[in-house]
Amino acid sequence: MYGAVIHAPGDVRFEQRPDPQIEQPTDAVIRMLATCVCGSDLWSYRGANPIRRPTPMGHEYLGVVEEVGADVRAVRPGDVVIGSFFASDGTCEICRSGYPSRCVQAIGMGSLGAQAERLRVPLADGTLVATPGTPDADLIPSLLAASDVLGTGWFGAEAAAVRPGKTVVVVGDGAVGLLGVLAARVQGAERIIAMSRHADRQRLARTFGATDIVEERGDEGVARVKDLTDGLGAHSTIEAVGTQESMLQAIRSTRAGGHVGFVGVSHGVELSGQLLFYSEVHLFGGPAPVRRFLPDLIGRIWRREIDPGLVFDLTLPLSEVAEGYRAMDERRAIKVLLQP
Amino acid sequence: MYGAVIHAPGDVRFEQRPDPQIEQPTDAVIRMLATCVCGSDLWSYRGANPIRRPTPMGHEYLGVVEEVGADVRAVRPGDVVIGSFFASDGTCEICRSGYPSRCVQAIGMGSLGAQAERLRVPLADGTLVATPGTPDADLIPSLLAASDVLGTGWFGAEAAAVRPGKTVVVVGDGAVGLLGVLAARVQGAERIIAMSRHADRQRLARTFGATDIVEERGDEGVARVKDLTDGLGAHSTIEAVGTQESMLQAIRSTRAGGHVGFVGVSHGVELSGQLLFYSEVHLFGGPAPVRRFLPDLIGRIWRREIDPGLVFDLTLPLSEVAEGYRAMDERRAIKVLLQP
């Protein structure tokens, strides 16, 4: 089969890879219906993560089960399925406590390369969730979004303890930040302040439920948020970038006793204990436990209550995956959907 | 009147200071029944905080109201009262949300110097809580402990989300850590692992409810905690020191999805975003909202359900405050009570 392989920063190729096989009795192999490029893939593309050898890419997937191992019970050939970017057993104490992305057996799906025609999914029973039936074509983008960016934005809102009637700031206007806006709205936030400088992303933020847009950053951005919140800062802030600047923006935009949920994969961030102590905000984040949210999120999409697929503003054939990376790197696209 | 004044690291003097007066109609002036030396006072004593001029010391106080300003309603002369190390108005949005130590009008009591014969307490209605009557002499140490170290340990347990049946690690065996053990027990923890190398503090930790003692630190300390928790780490960890080593110990001893409550005043701590992201622990701490806890804690002490005053293992006349600092600095005492 063919799939995406990164050879060096800026060098993603669509090339032949070994056909995935059932290797463990708990594996499934799926045929890809849709996959996509993640903001976190750009860390490698831009050279922020080392690339030691040609490496398959991609960790978001919506597919049809082709084959299952002997021990798989929860899905069967023909099912349309979604999973998260971590395979998880669903049975360990950490999974049962709600953190499947930190499963004691967790396997990063990125290492298996979902930007491909087929994909082996380990721990299929714990990892995959079947859709209620064959999805209409127009639901495909939203269902694919559930695999990572929707679930991650959803976790950002949960980690930021979004509550009905409260004010939420969202730092970052990529797909995760925008879906953080959507999640905050669905979770009941009254006021949602999206920090964004890009007109197209501002529009999408408003579509998803943002009530205010702040274009300023740094001290000015903090001051604008304070202006909008009686001088106190937000109750909840979703951080969806992962840089020093965005983390400080998030912490400083939040009131004492408030919550920061950070879901941007952290790069080069160093936080002083004094800042954390005296800002007195709850800080929680990490790889989103997307698998926990999937049944709920798939249901909301299936009932057409939410339309997270709007974050895909460019669709390409999977064979043009390299152009997908370029478009996102150059910010010509928010998020690129790839069709095999 | 006389009170403690620090002139330089290691140089605390008992000297004449101006008599406190009612300055604002919301002030009260109290005559001290008991005060004490805090672990956080040692940061100045040891030179970790700059001392730019001779500075009054102390922020823990139990006293009798002598005089109140014209607007004070909640307490009156003759009342025995306790307050926290921050004066707070009790009416602003931050106070009402449960974080009085971050009140929009907060005033650090340390700047007023509670290691003294008398003390002006600003915002008396929001700050002071009267005891149900004149306390028996043997309740004085426990009531004084409520002013900071008990309330701070209590907050550590709350911030660490201690729940019935869960396993809690306590990093730090000073008064706050020991009272974190007590708080964890009262809040229902099943297993409480105290990290301590000192036999006397280990005994007190067991008295307060510790079920296990870990003497190791660093990697070995983490490994011991993992051994005791099925390889996963604790559900909740209370950090009560404030150093880089203790913060890393706390974070690394906690399972994914678990909670770290940090109440040691942070000095020289730098946490990498990657550590926070991939440890995926809830992190919350800061100046404890002690005022919120005072009515409950005073009640528990009054009913003799808890005996936090056991942390005082040395009592001195207030005039010997300098010896009190020395004894704590040299770890000859856990905590020193000072009697005017």
Whole-number Cα distances in Å, B207 to A131, A183, A241, B194: 55, 47, 47, 12
Split at pLDDT 50, 70, 90, the class of B34 is: very high
- Nearest C-alpha in A relative to B101: A256
Per-residue pLDDT of A221-253, as tens digits, reads 999 999 999 999 999 999 999 999 999 999 999
Split at pLDDT 50, 70, 90, the class of A49 is: confident
Q: What is the pLDDT of residue A196?
A: 97
Q: Is the pLDDT of residue B28 over 90?
A: yes
Q: Is the pLDDT of residue B266 over 90?
A: no
Going by C-alpha positions, the residue among B27, B45, B334, B64 that lies closest to residue B201 is B334
* Tally of CB atoms within 10 A around B55: 16
What average pLDDT does range A260-267 have in this prediction?
93
**Looking at CA atoms only, how far is residue A133 from chain B in angstroms?**
33
Q: Is the pLDDT of residue B146 over 90?
A: yes
Hey, of B246, B251, B276, which one would you mutate to test binding to chain A, going by the most A CBs within 10 A of its CB?
B276
Question: Whose structure tokens read 């160093």?
Answer: A270
Going by C-alpha positions, the residue among A119, A132, A175, A147 that lies closest to residue A310 is A175
Q: Which domains does chain B have, with CATH numbers?
A: 2-148+289-339 (3.90.180.10), 153-285 (3.40.50.720)
Split at pLDDT 50, 70, 90, the class of A37 is: very high
Q: What is the pLDDT of residue A266?
A: 87
Q: What is the ipTM of this complex?
A: 0.95
Do residue B284 and residue A281 have CB atoms under 8 angstroms apart?
A: yes
Q: What is the pLDDT of residue B48?
A: 87
Do residue A277 and residue B255 have CB atoms under 8 angstroms apart?
A: no
Per-residue pLDDT of B204-222, as tens digits, reads 999 999 999 999 999 999 9
Going by C-alpha positions, the residue among A181, A165, A186, A159 that lies closest to residue A281 is A159
Q: What is the pLDDT of residue A198?
A: 94
Q: What is the pLDDT of residue B265?
A: 86
Split at pLDDT 50, 70, 90, the class of B49 is: confident
What average pLDDT does range B237-265 have in this prediction?
97
Per-residue pLDDT of B96-143, as tens digits, reads 999 999 999 999 999 999 999 999 999 999 999 999 999 999 999 999
> Rounded distance, CA B40 to CA B21, Å?
27
**Looking at CA atoms only, how far is residue A82 from chain B in angstroms?**
23
Q: Which of A36-50, A80-94, A154-168, B281-295 has the lowest mean pLDDT?
A: A36-50
Secondary structure of chain B in HEC code, one letter for each residue: CEEEEEEECCEEEEEECCCCCCCCCCCEEEEEEEEECCCCHHHHHCCCCCCCCCEECCCCEEEEEEEECCCCCCCCCCCEEECCCEECCCCCHHHHCCCHHHCCCCEEHHHCCCCECEEEECCHHHHCEECCCCCCHHHHHHHHHHCCHHHHHHHHHHHCCCCCCCEEEEECCCHHHHHHHHHHHHCCCCEEEEECCCHHHHHHHHHHCCCEEECCCHHHHHHHHHHHCCCCCEEEEEECCCCHHHHHHHHHCEEEEEEEEECCCCCCCEEEHHHHHHHCCEEEECCCCHHHHHHHHHHHHHCCCCCHHHHCCEEEEHHHHHHHHHHHHCCCCCCEEEEC
Kindly report the average pLDDT of chain B as a whole number. 97
Q: In angstroms, how far apart are the furthest CA atoms of chain B?
A: 60
What whole-number percentage of chain A has pLDDT above 90? Answer: 97
Strand partners, A130: A81
> Closest partner residue to A284 among B97, B255, B282, by Cβ?
B282
Secondary structure of chain A in HEC code, one letter for each residue: CEEEEEEECCEEEEEECCCCCCCCCCCEEEEEEEEECCCCHHHHHCCCCCCCCCEECCCCEEEEEEEECCCCCCCCCCCEEECCCEECCCCCHHHHCCCHHHCCCCEEHHHCCCCECEEEECCHHHHCEECCCCCCHHHHHHHHHHCCHHHHHHHHHHHCCCCCCCEEEEECCCHHHHHHHHHHHHCCCCEEEEECCCHHHHHHHHHHCCCEEECCCHHHHHHHHHHHCCCCCEEEEEECCCCHHHHHHHHHCEEEEEEEEECCCCCCCEEEHHHHHHHCCEEEECCCCHHHHHHHHHHHHHCCCCCHHHHCCEEEEHHHHHHHHHHHHCCCCCCEEEEC
Do residue A102 and residue B280 have CB atoms under 8 angstroms apart?
A: yes
Split at pLDDT 50, 70, 90, the class of A69 is: very high
> Rounded distance, CA B326 to CA B333, Å?
9
Per-residue pLDDT of B71-101, as tens digits, reads 999 999 999 999 999 999 999 999 999 999 9
- Nearest C-alpha in A relative to B94: A256
Kindly report the average pLDDT of chain A as a whole number. 97
Q: What is the pLDDT of residue A265?
A: 86
Hey, of B49, B283, B291, which one would you mutate to test binding to chain A, going by the most A CBs within 10 A of its CB?
B283
- CB contacts, 8 Å: A232 with chain B: 93-94, 104
